[in-house]
Amino acid sequence: MSIGCFVDKSCVPTENAIQQKLGLTLPLWTSLINVLGNRKAEQSLKYLYGRQYGWAKQFRIKGKPTIALFPNEGYFVALIILNAGQLFAASQLHLHKNAVNAIDAANLYREGKWLFVRVQKLHDLKDIEALLRLKEL
C-alpha cells in the first residue's frame, strides 16, 4: 500500500485531481497549506521516494524541508521529520491517535524520526500544526 494515491511518476496530478481525491478532507489540506504559506514556506509538487510514496506537495522554510503532504483517497498523509529534541517535546504534547501511532511506528534514524501522520479529522490537523511549531524551536 502506498503513502499517496498518485504513484505514476509520468503522470503529474493536477490541483483539481488532488482536490477530488481529498474529498471531505480538502478543507484540512487547504488550511494546512495556508498555515505554511503564512510561515513563508516555499512549496513544490514533487515525486518523492518512488512508487511507494508518489507525488506530494513539499514545503521548505529557509531552504530546509519542513513537511510533505501526500494526497490520498479521502485523507492525506503528512510527512514531518523530528529530531531527538523535538521528539522529546512531542512526547509532552497531548496528541491524538494518528500522531501517536506515527511516532510509535517510525524508525529512529540519525536525523530523527520520519513521521507519516494520516490526516482525516480536525484534531489530526491540530496535531500537525503542533508538531510544526516544534520544528521552529
Q: Residue 50: its pLDDT value, please?
A: 82
- Are 137 and 87 in contact by the 8 Å Cβ rule? The answer is no
42-48, strands of its sheet edge to edge: 42-48, 54-61, 64-72, 75-82, 112-119, 108-109
The pTM of this model reads 0.94
Mean pLDDT across the stretch 8-16? 95
Average pLDDT score over the chain: 94
**pLDDT tens-digit series, residues 16-73:** 999 999 999 999 999 999 999 999 999 999 999 888 999 999 999 988 889 999 999 9
Q: Residue 2: its pLDDT value, please?
A: 77
Q: Residue 113: its pLDDT value, please?
A: 96
92: Cα separation from own chain's centroid: 20
Percent of the chain with pLDDT over 90: 89
Whether 123 has a pLDDT exceeding 70, the answer reads yes
SS3 label, residue 60? strand
Q: Residue 137: its pLDDT value, please?
A: 59
Mean pLDDT across the stretch 94-110? 95
What distance in Å separates the CA atoms of residue 12 and residue 88, rounded to the nearest whole number? 37
The band of 1, judged by pLDDT with boundaries at 50, 70 and 90, is: low
Which domains are seen in the chain, by residue range?
15-135 (3.90.1150)
